[in-house]
Amino acid sequence: MHSRKSYWLPILIGLPLISLLSACSGVQSSLDPAGAAAQLIADLWWPTLVVASLVTVLVLALLLIGVFRAFKHRSARPLSARQSRNLVIAGGIILPLSVTIPFALSSFSIGRTLYAPPPDDALTIEVVGKRWWWEVHYLDQDGNRIATTANELHVPVGETIRLLLKSDNVIHSFWVPNIQGKTDMMPGQVNVTSLVADEPGVYRGQCAEYCGAQHALMAFLFVAETPDEFAEWLEHQKQPAVTLETAQAVQGREVFSDSGCAECHTIRGTQADGQEGPDLTHLASRRMLAAATVPNRIGHLGGWITDPQHIKPESLMPPTELTPDDLQSLLSYLGSLE
């Protein structure tokens, strides 16, 4: 018959193990690499984990042996001066150096690879850290902005991408754990980095430098797709907003310009040219709203417009009071911006 004890032991060991392992995969995990840089980082991380664990076990074992001996043989003779010295040289100098030097060297060499300058003709994307969202510009070979979007970065797989990282406010940090390491976004400075996505997929990027109230909800989606899909997407993003087909959408465009939205938001191809908030020209083509905080569905969109402070307290978008009719038209307009 099983005793209570034999039943609990597997649970006690198994549960933490399962929760530990679940951190090894997913759309925001540096242990589930889908890009060359993330692969290098993971390749360094695993040996570090193994060696650091062994060192911890070794140190704790020595400590326990010492404590045990001290209690058991109170009268035991202390080590001779020579033995003590050898112990310090071996355990205090040789062992730590032989562990840390190889790691320092490989970390340095990986760092050099990670921050190697991208090729001159690489596709260039400018990302600006905002409070608390991401402005994204695609540049042509001459550095002109050809398409602007927000909170969703698309890249073709297998191609080296040059990123120009900026901020016009506080320090943010650009990080897509599955693809690359963190790079800070500093006001008054352009940090250049590069990345390659190896596998198509949708990953989650996260601001990695505390930047104020909504830092935790400053995320974005990183969409790696085939070169054909990417070219099609970019071509579409370059276009101005679609022509409106329903009377309700036309009415919604009026609501948009009469309710102050246009002062903060740009919709290319219309009068709206505000700069404070995300470009909404192709809002309906995005998967999420408000820096990957809520899914881009009509209910969430309505909730966001009437009360953004509920979804992201202290966010820089004010609430807007609208009649139900106006809200419906506005939602129908925004929903048409594919």
Residues that bind ligand HEC (CB under 6 A): 132-133, 150-151, 214, 256, 259-261, 263-265, 276-278, 280, 283, 286, 289-291, 304-305, 312, 315-318, 320, 330
User: CB-wise, 42 or 311, nearer to ligand HEC?
Assistant: 311
What's the closest the beta carbon of residue 152 comes to ligand HEC, in angstroms? 8
**Residue 327: φ, ψ to 5°:** -60, -45
Helix axes 95-114, 36-72, angle to 10 degrees: 170
**What are the residues facing 197 on neighbouring strands?**
35
Q: At residue 333, what is the residue type?
A: Y
At residue 239, the 3 state secondary structure works out as coil
Between residue 164 and residue 183, which ones bind Cu ion under the rule CB under 5 A?
172
CB 41 within 8 A of CB 33: yes
Nearer to ligand HEC, 197 or 305 (CB): 305
Between residues 133 and 138, which has the closer beta carbon with respect to Cu ion?
133
CB 337, min distance to Cu ion, A: 26
Among Cu ion, ligand HEC, none, partner that 211 touches (CB below 5 to 8 angstroms by kind) = Cu ion
Of 311, 312, 306, 310, the C-alpha closest to 327 is: 306
Nearest residue to 136 (alpha-carbon basis) of 124, 152, 121: 152
**Distance, C-alpha 26 to centroid of its chain:** 12
Which partner in ligand HEC, Cu ion, none is near 147 (CB below 5 to 8 A by kind)? none
* Amino acid of residue 55: V
Min separation Cβ 113 and ligand HEC, Å: 34
Q: Is residue 130 near Cu ion by the rule CB under 5 A?
A: no
Find out whether 185 and 127 touch, Cβ atoms under 8 Å: yes
Site for Cu ion (CB under 5 A): which residue of 165, 207, 290, 317?
207
Pick from 85, 206, 233: nearest CA to 149:
233
Nearest to residue 330, comparing CAs of 228, 246, 269, 263? 246
Residue 211 near Cu ion by CB under 5 A: yes
Cβ proximity to ligand HEC, 179 vs 211, nearer residue: 211
Binding window for Cu ion (CB under 5 A); candidates: 160-168, 212-220, 296-304, 323-331: 212-220
> What letters, b where the CB count within 10 A reaches 16 and e where it falls short, cover 175-193?
bbbbbbbbbbbbeeeebeb
Residue 133 interacts, among ligand HEC, Cu ion, none and using kind-specific CB cut-offs from 5 to 8 Å, with ligand HEC
CB of 314 to ligand HEC, least distance (A): 9
172 binds, among Cu ion, ligand HEC, none (CB under 5 to 8 A by kind): Cu ion
Which CB, 263 or 325, lies closer to ligand HEC? 263
Q: β-pairing, 288-289 with 294-295? A: antiparallel
The listed partner (Cu ion, ligand HEC, none) that binds 265, CB under 5 to 8 Å by sort, is: ligand HEC
Of the candidates 253, 249, 243, 245, the residue with the CA atom closest to the CA atom of residue 332: 249
Tokens of 177: 């754990």
Q: Minimum distance between the CB of residue 120 and ligand HEC, rounded to whole angstroms?
A: 31
CB of 261 to ligand HEC, least distance (A): 3
Q: Interface with Cu ion by CB under 5 A: which residues? A: 172, 207, 211, 218
